[in-house]
Structure 1
Amino acid sequence: MAGRPLELILDSRVGNPIVVVDEVDKIGNSNPSDAGTLTTALLSLLEPVSARAWECPYFRVSFDMSHISWILTANDESQVPEALLSRCCVIRIETPSHDELMQFAKLELARRGLGDEDFQALSCLMAAHPQKHRNLRTVTRHLDDLEAITRLPVFH
């Protein structure tokens, strides 16, 4: 079948979509000359010259894929194949500090209609395990759990 970027263009009839490829650090440092690897597929689409006349192996027709905007995400830049890094503008986003995470939690708790006691519970949890809980994903999971517990019916 056709690749996802081409399917997206054909289905949406939008010739310049934004395509996000999450966690490219997980694809490994495969040899870009190996046919069929994700790195090889991305290289042909990220390189402007080859993207202008990209040959679809499914339809066996050339497509201009040069108008796609690509966003590649990674948690560990050192694990991203150098061939991909060399074709990207790298933007580094620092890990949120404890204070930034707490500010996010406070805003998110208010948005969810939760109160100060929930913030205190989250603060205690994060203080007890500062390294383990120092990321946005974990804080969001805790917020989800707090919200679920708060929404449980109270039996008298």
Structure 2
Amino acid sequence: MTQQRPDTDPQADAVAYLEALHGRLAADGTSVTFEVWGGLPVLIGSRADRRISWFGTRTKLFVYAAAVPSVDGTLLAEFTGAALTHAKGLRGGIPGARNVVTALPALVSTDVDPSAVQFAARDAQMLDTSVVGRPVVVQVGPGVRRTTLYRGQVPWGGLFTRHVLRKAALYFP
């Protein structure tokens, strides 16, 4: 059994990670806000990018992150669903080939169940072909930092895969 000193907060590493994430998002020009979802403070970052190489198509990227005491596959799936629904509501513009939305819903914890890692690594999640989600699970702790997310192609919004994965690597090192 691991003993913790009574004067340390086991969530301190997760909260510190979120503070650093806030800084990385802001430094990259991402708009950052906070909302409370069911009593859970959620950091929300959003940005829109358009490139000629994407044939003028715009991609909107949302980052959702929260620190939780522990995370399993069920909690990550619920958080991902809520994030995709939220992103769809904020999307703006006409959905379709010229307006792609991607969400990176991330839960950060010192206690990560293998089912959460499997859920994050298995595949991207989609909400009625208009929003693509790449769930992220981050395990932090003294000397520990493991980030898991699906890094493969997706059928919808695949043109933006490289861009989204570069942003994910920047935000979740």
The TM-score with structure 2 as length reference comes to 0.23
Greater gyration radius: 1
Which structure's residues are more often strand, by fraction?
2
The TM-score with structure 1 as length reference comes to 0.25
Which structure's residues are more often helix, by fraction?
1
